[in-house]
Amino acid sequence: MLKVEGIHTQYGRIKVLSDVSFEINPGEIVALIGTNGAGKSTFLKTISGLVRPTLGRITFMDQEIQGVAPEKIVLAGIAHVPEGRHVFARQTVLTNLQIGAFIRKDVDEIQKDIERYFKIFPILGERRNQLAGTLSGGEQQMLAIARGLMARPKLLLLDEPSMGLAPFLVNEIFRIIGQLHDQGIAIVLVEQNVKKALKITRRAYVMELGKILYHGDSKELIADDRVRKSYLGET
């Protein structure tokens, strides 16, 4: 579905990604793990068009999308839920969801989707007319995910969805990610909570210093000594 081949990305003269290749199939959920500053967010931004790669090719459903503007990539079917949530703080919860469906014109279906996400995330329904900036971190994260889904993407890029959340909310977010996967949406999951990320996925990539160190079966990675030492804090 999405195929990334040998991309290089840099900010000015600073090289962030070098020769990164990655692949995800329809309906699959794949984890991308690595320490802070490894380049995971930049990788997602390169897919969604916020950052242009200097080299390499990205193909999404037989379409080359490297260097294409983000607003066109959403149209192709990729939604990116950015790190740090980035909800529109001065707009209501409802407006945030409506803007998530900006590329769609099927007004009735949009309304149905909004009601659907209010069922999945009841707290958002209760606060539909509240400004998004007044929500708690966990609620903002739910809003950011729901807003991304409003575009009805075929591929969802989730950047650190559990960051800064209380443990019970982390479980809740992972439960919802599981649900989305069951609905058949392909998901790239960037997570600091490596254990949970490897448990929910079947395949994972490990990124360090802008390179893919190794990738493979999530179960094997959990058992891998290097992963246990570096990311699970075990000795």
Interface residues with another protein (CB under 8 A)?
48-50, 69-71, 74-75, 79-80, 82, 84-86, 88-91, 95, 98-100, 102-103, 131, 133-134, 137, 140, 147, 151, 164
Q: At closest approach, how far in Å is the CB of 165 from another protein?
A: 11
Backbone angles phi, psi at 28, to 5 degrees: -85, 155
Please say which residue, 49 or 203, places its beta carbon nearer to another protein: 49
Q: At closest approach, how far in Å is the CB of 10 from another protein?
A: 15
Six-digit token string for 83? 């790190």
Q: At closest approach, how far in Å is the CB of 119 from another protein?
A: 22
- CB-based contacts of 145, cutoff 8 Å, min separation 6: 81, 158, 161, 173, 176
Backbone angles phi, psi at 51, to 5 degrees: -130, 140
Please say which residue, 44 or 227, places its beta carbon nearer to another protein: 44
Please say which residue, 75 or 223, places its beta carbon nearer to another protein: 75
Please say which residue, 3 or 52, places its beta carbon nearer to another protein: 52
Q: At closest approach, how far in Å is the CB of 137 from another protein?
A: 6
Sign of CA dihedral 49, 54, 56, 57: positive
Determine how many CB atoms are found less than 10 A away from the CB of residue 71.
Answer: 10
Q: At closest approach, how far in Å is the CB of 90 from another protein?
A: 6
Q: Give the Cα separation of 154 and 63 in Å (integer).
A: 14
Q: At closest approach, how far in Å is the CB of 228 from another protein?
A: 32
Please say which residue, 101 or 197, places its beta carbon nearer to another protein: 101
Residue 30 is inside which H or E element, if any? strand 29-33
Integer-rounded Cα Rg, in Å, for the chain is: 17
- Which of the 8 DSSP states describes residue 163? T
Please say which residue, 1 or 131, places its beta carbon nearer to another protein: 131
